[in-house]
Amino acid sequence: MPRGPSLRRERQGTRRPTITLDPGLDPFLTSTDGLGYRKFFTGAYEHRVLDGVGHNAPQEAPAAFARAVLDTDRL
């Protein structure tokens, strides 16, 4: 299994449709506009900020999280 730099090279540029999520109230990370993530995805891409959601987005906003997963089929 690749590790370190070779794993990063392998992971860059995925062509799969992708939606990245930033929780709006994460106490550990600030929300972004998603541009920093964009370089890792060469396929269809969208970024969403989940307002009012903290660090555990799937538990705190399950509907929005599930919607993002399902919406990747529509990108």
What are the pLDDT tens digits along the chain (75 aa)?
556 566 555 556 788 999 999 999 999 988 899 999 898 888 999 999 999 999 999 999 999 999 999 999 999
Give the ranges where the chain is alpha helix by DSSP (H).
4-11, 35-38, 57-60, 62-71
- Euclidean distance between the first and final Cα of the chain, in Å? 31
Q: What is the domain partition of the chain in residue ranges?
A: 4-74
Nearest-angstrom CA–CA distance, 23 and 51: 6
**pTM score:** 0.78
